[in-house]
Copies of this chain bind each other. A is one copy, B any other.
Amino acid sequence: MEIVKEILSGNKRALARAITIVENEDLEGQKNKEQLLKEIYPYTGKAYIIGITGSPGAGKSSLVNKLTEHIRRLGLTVGILAVDPTSPFTGGALLGDRIRMQDHFLDPGVFIRSMGTRGSLGGLAKSTKDVVKVLDAFGMDIIIIETVGVGQSELDVMYAADSTVVVLTPGAGDVVQTLKAGIMEIADIFAVNKADMVGADKVVTQVEAMLDLKDDIKWRPPVVKVVSTSNQGLDSLYEAIEKHRKYLEKTGELDKVRKERALYEVAESAVHRVRAYLNHALESNEELVGLLEKVTQKTLSPDEAANTLLANIKFSDT
C-alpha cells in the first residue's frame, strides 16, 4: 500500500491517516485495515512501550506531557496514545487533544492521538494495540499509552505496555481505590504525583507497605515522587522506567513477554473477527431469526443458540 511507504518514510500526515484506517471498526473498512496492519507488521517491535495509568484526577495528562518533554530532551521521538472515555452528552473526548497538542504541536518528534472508549465494545484493547503498531512502524522510539486505570478493558490496554507506570496522588484514599480497581499489581513503577501536597509521603509508605506483602517479587516496583506541574521528578521517573527496561532486557523477560503478547493477540484477533461476523450475521441473516425467536420464547438457551450458530459458520481463509 502507498500509505505504508509514506509512513515508513516518516510522513506524519500519512501516520494520522493510517491510524484512522486502523481505528475503523466498520465491516467495510476491515480489508483495508488488515492489509495495512499486515504490511507494517514486519517493521514493528522496535519502539519501547510505556503505559501510564491511574484513577481519574491523578494528573496523568500533565504527567505524560512533562515526561514527553523530558524524553524529547534526550533526543528520542514519542508517540502518545491517550485512551479517553467519551460521552454522548458532550459529543467527544473530554480530555481532548487540543489542550495537549498546544505544547507539542510544532514538535515533529511527537505525535499525539486520543481514542474514545465508547463504541469499541470489546475492541478497545485491539484498536489500541493496532494504533501502537502504526506508531511503532512509523519509527517512534517511545510510545506512551495513557488510560484511566479502571475497568477490565483498561487493564487489557495496559497489557500492551512493556513498562507500566501507575500514577497515584495524595489524599482521597487514592491508594485504596487503586487497589480496589485492581491496578496495583500491574505496576512496574509507581509515580506519586502532586508530591508537593500534604500526604504524599503517606502514599509512598502505603505503597511500600503493600509491596512488602508480596514475597515472591522479582522486580520490586520503585516508588517515585513527581510534581508534574513544576517539572520535578520527571528525570527520576524516566530513570526508573529505563531501569525496568534494562531489567526486562537482561533477564530475557522482554522477549518472553512480547512472545506471550503475540500469542494473546492472535487469540484476540480471532475472537474479534468472530464478534464482527456475528454482529453482522445477527442483523442480516434471516435463518437466524428462527433461532433467536426460540431464545426469546425461552425454548432455547443463548448458549445452545450460540453453539448451533458456530457449528454452521465457515470462516474463509482470507
Residues of A within 8 A of B (CB): 34, 37-38, 41-42, 44-45, 55-57, 84-90, 94-95, 117-118, 120-122, 124, 148, 150-154, 156, 172-173, 176-177, 179-182, 184-185, 210, 213-214, 258-259, 262-263, 265-275, 278-279, 282, 291-292, 295-296, 298-313, 315-318
- Asked whether A305 lies within 8 Å of B57 as measured between CB atoms, the reply is no
C-alpha gap A86/B214 in the complex (Å): 16
Closest to A272 in B: B306
- Asked whether B180 lies within 8 Å of A298 as measured between CB atoms, the reply is no
Of B87, B120, B267, B313, the residue contacting A185 (CB under 8 A) is B87
Taking the nearest CB of chain B, how far is it from the CB of A199, in angstroms? 15
Chain B residues whose C-beta falls within 8 Å of the C-beta of A300 in the assembled complex: 41
Chain B residues whose C-beta falls within 8 Å of the C-beta of A57 in the assembled complex: 173, 177
- Asked whether B214 lies within 8 Å of A89 as measured between CB atoms, the reply is yes
- Asked whether A278 lies within 8 Å of B270 as measured between CB atoms, the reply is yes
Chain B residues whose C-beta falls within 8 Å of the C-beta of A94 in the assembled complex: 176, 179-180
Given A37-B303, A122-B271, 9 more A-B residue pairs with CB atoms under 8 Å apart are A38-B303, A56-B180, A89-B214, A90-B179, A94-B179, A151-B153, A266-B291, A270-B306, A273-B306
- Asked whether A302 lies within 8 Å of B266 as measured between CB atoms, the reply is yes
Closest to A271 in B: B275
- Asked whether A42 lies within 8 Å of B88 as measured between CB atoms, the reply is no
Quickly give the copy total for this chain: 2
C-alpha gap A318/B42 in the complex (Å): 40
Q: Which 10 A-B pairs have the closest CB atoms?
A: A151-B151, A311-B317, A150-B150, A269-B306, A152-B153, A270-B306, A310-B315, A265-B302, A41-B301, A267-B278
C-alpha gap A44/B194 in the complex (Å): 51
Taking the nearest CB of chain B, how far is it from the CB of A126, in angstroms? 9
Chain B residues whose C-beta falls within 8 Å of the C-beta of A258 in the assembled complex: 296
- Asked whether A307 lies within 8 Å of B311 as measured between CB atoms, the reply is no
Of B262, B270, B292, the residue contacting A309 (CB under 8 A) is B270
Query: Which of A55, A95, A172, A307 has the most B CB atoms < 10 Å from its CB?
Result: A307
Q: What are 27 inter-chain pairs, A to B, with CB distance below 8 A?
A: A34-B304, A41-B300, A42-B298, A45-B298, A56-B177, A56-B181, A88-B185, A89-B179, A94-B180, A117-B152, A118-B182, A122-B122, A148-B180, A150-B150, A151-B152, A151-B153, A152-B153, A259-B292, A262-B302, A267-B306, A269-B305, A269-B306, A270-B309, A271-B274, A274-B274, A311-B315, A312-B317
Of B121, B185, B267, B309, the residue contacting A152 (CB under 8 A) is B121
